[in-house]
Amino acid sequence: MSVEQQYIDLFSQTEAMICRHSTEVLNAPRAAAFADFERLGFPTRKEEKYKYTDISKFFEPDYGLNLNRLEIPVNPYEVFKCDVPNMSTALYFVVNDAFYGKALPKSHLPNGVIFGSLKEVAEQNPELVKKYYGKLADTTEDGVTAFNTAFAQDGVLFYVPKNVVVEKPVQLVNILRGDVNFMVNRRMLVILEEGAQARLLACDHAMDSVNFLATQVIEIFAGENAVFDFYELEETHTSTVRISNMYVKQEANSNVLLNGMTLHNGTTRNTTRVTLVGEHAELNLCGMAIADKNQHVDNHTTIDHAVPNCTSNELYKYVLDDQAVGAFAGLVLVRPDAQHTSSQQTNRNLCATRDARMYTQPQLEIYADDVKCSHGATVGQLDESALFYMQQRGIPVREARLLLMFAFVNEVIDTIRLDALKDRLHLLVEKRFRGELNKCRGCAICK
């Protein structure tokens, strides 16, 4: 039996249950998405954009799925204290793939702002969700997106109305919880209308030591003159597989910062596709990965300059130790009408051992003649002369290695536009390089 067949059979047997525990707006594209999944299947290395990560093999084991939406016996507000000091966030939780709504932050968001269960908002305001849900995440092109759309029953919606500024950063913690090997299918829908501003930090944590497989589809709509910062921080364990597809659409004069940081994981595949559809839109796309043991981190990005006078800056850095594997493939596409585009793409990678492997594939496709675009990639090892220089001045070799690696990734951390988060990341990265426990201070469930 093929890998896909077990899920085709599962969906055929449980479709009524899946729909019953979801809502009409999420159910509407479900059948078409399932048909796309039947046609596409899971990606394999035979596909160019997945050639560094064999996605299909991770779906072979037998996972539990909570399609009947049984209640998970955990109150994250009691056991999870992972608030970044001095950041004073509005803190929300997703337990597996369900928004936790039994308790909510005491702090209130501005009038008209919605942060809550995608399922519940779709029931209360179906026209809002229907207008955006599934409009960027094309199930006809990607098997994982099709699979997620067919099985997702809930998720998170973040909506900021026209000209509303959300001063307080919002923090979303995705908790993986299970007594058996478990699969979750998460959705996130972010809508910033014209002139809206907001900042969101999403953290991934695993509560139990079983094998987890998480698929995730994120859709972000940044309206005209909107400003949005989105930070993702992954701190799970080596038995976790995360496959995340993010789709972003930027209107005129919008400013979006995307920063994805993998501090501890098992296998991670992140796909990011950003389309700039309005003039003078600006994108800053950043990423950082620290991996050791047999960890695997694969980032695949596409920046589509569809109109003139837009700017994009892309920076990804990896530090790989032991037998870790990293991959980066980044495409910047400049369409024929996108004159006066300014784009810079940089990928820098550090292999701390001879057994670590890094694959990098920067790409430019330019169909306009009045542009300013550049790209570059490097893969190297620690500078032996710098290590020698530091040892000559009394710094032990282990400490010298740590300082060099920390300085290497510091450029990505400095793109963060939240001082409290930036300071916290400096500390977490230092702890990560020192091999200390990978958890935020006070994080009870990670002990």
- CB-based contacts of 389, cutoff 8 Å, min separation 6: none
Domain boundaries, the chain: 3-278+416-434
- The yes-or-no verdict on residue 278 having pLDDT over 90 is yes
| Mean pLDDT taken over the chain | 91
* Per-residue pLDDT, 400: 77
How far apart CA 239 and CA 64 sit, in angstroms, is 15
* Per-residue pLDDT, 394: 77
The amino acid sitting at 341 is T
- The yes-or-no verdict on residue 147 having pLDDT over 50 is yes
* Per-residue pLDDT, 207: 84
Q: How far is CA 443 from CA 99, 203, 438, in A?
A: 19, 12, 10
Residues across the chain:
447
* Per-residue pLDDT, 70: 87
**Per-residue pLDDT reduced to its tens digit, 74-115:** 777 776 665 455 567 888 999 999 999 887 776 789 999 999
Question: Is 254 in contact with 282 (CB distance < 8 Å)?
Answer: yes
* Per-residue pLDDT, 219: 98
How far apart CA 173 and CA 206 sit, in angstroms, is 10
How far apart CA 133 and CA 110 sit, in angstroms, is 23
Question: Is 363 in contact with 332 (CB distance < 8 Å)?
Answer: yes
What whole-number percentage of the chain has pLDDT above 70?
94
* Per-residue pLDDT, 442: 43
Question: Is 271 in contact with 244 (CB distance < 8 Å)?
Answer: yes
- CB-based contacts of 73, cutoff 8 Å, min separation 6: none
Question: Is 24 in contact with 126 (CB distance < 8 Å)?
Answer: yes
Please compute the mean of the pLDDT values over residues 243-263 and round it to a whole number: 97
The answer for 112, left when phi > 0, alpha when psi is -120 to 50, beta otherwise, is left
**Per-residue pLDDT reduced to its tens digit, 181-192:** 999 999 999 999
* Per-residue pLDDT, 446: 41
Give the confidence band of 384 by pLDDT, cuts at 50, 70, 90: confident
